[in-house]
Amino acid sequence: MRLVLVVLVALLAIGCVPRDRNTWHPAPPGGVSPARQPRPDEPAPRRFAAVLAPLAIGPLAAVWRDADIELAYELAARIDARGEKAQADGLAAPQLPAADQPAWRSWPVPGTQGADFLLLLSVVSLERQRSPAGGGAQFIINSEVELRAFDPYGNLVFARRGVDAWRGAPSPKFSGPVVAPESEAVRAACQQAIDAFLKFLEQRNEVASGGPSGGASGGASGGAAATRLVRVEIDSEPAGADVLIDGVLRGTTPCTVQLPLLQRVQLRLERSGHRSWERTLLPDEGLRLKPLLERK
């Protein structure tokens, strides 16, 4: 029964995704994206345009070849439904390069003008195995995805992985790539990552407005909130790079550093024989980085 309900919800969500409203169009020079223009039947657009590039679906392509675009629209609609506190407007951009394409290594990326956040989602792993506890065609589908959110200048501001394990047997009443177990597992993992991003935006908005951060620990004297430190895992490919935070050496990759929650810091990785890698970050709990260092 639970499987039937999940499938029905997925089908309804896909059928109700407002493609025109959720399609991204870059802003003209000095102007505003047509996707962000106020509409007579809607309230004023939310503050942030969160633009989803086509997903890098990897192994899911063998099951659902259109998932790169279809899931982008689904997740854009999810941002609209859940992003009120985050002030996020979800938009899919089928014309942009897929999340794993080299074009994202050089900024600004054409077609992103006017976006506040560029969301790149990639399927990291997708494995199917027979469930040892179930009889018949009982399976476990393990899925892991990675979400990276960049500002318009190419600074990584958020990263999170979503993980889901689908268990059960495919229903003979509902078939097709959209509701395949692999698709359901990837969909749920993507939703986890997107929800974490929206939570990050909510906390950031609260910090910017001077309200409760939702994560800061008890107040200091005079009413000032104590700074909360979060663990950030930093690695590189290849490993052995110096990690500099705001110009101060903090370790060598791989390492874990404590950084202030949602306070902008400058990260720089340096390794002999390789080009330096630099980004501006807003640290959040669970942030993990592993950039590829290019040879000189």
Paired sense of beta strands 88-92 and 48-52, if any: parallel
H or E element, residue 162: strand 156-168
Cβ atoms of residues 131 and 181 within 8 Å: no
As a whole number of Å, the CA-based R_g of the chain is 21
**CB hemisphere CA count around 123 (13 angstroms):** 27
Q: List, for residues 185-233, the tens digit of each pLDDT value.
A: 999 999 999 999 999 999 888 776 665 544 433 333 333 345 678 889 9
Report pLDDT for 63.
Answer: 94
Distance, CA of 207 to CA of 197 (rounded, Å): 15
Tokens representing residue 180 in the block: 């395949």
Token pair 């279809």 is found at: 70
Q: List, for residues 267-295, the tens digit of each pLDDT value.
A: 999 999 999 999 888 888 788 899 999 99
Domains and CATH numbers, the chain: 14-23+43-209 (3.30.160.150), 221-289 (2.60.40)
Distance, CA of 18 to CA of 89 (rounded, Å): 13
Alpha-carbon separation of residue 89 from 9, 15, 117, 118, 193 (angstroms) = 22, 19, 10, 12, 16
Query: Does the predicted model carry a pTM greater than 0.85?
Result: no
Token pair 């050089």 is found at: 106
H or E element, residue 201: helix 181-209
Mean pLDDT, residues 57-81 taken together: 96
Q: List, for residues 59-69, the tens digit of each pLDDT value.
A: 999 999 999 99
Chain-centroid distance of CA 46 in Å reads 19
Side chain identity at residue 42, one-letter code = E
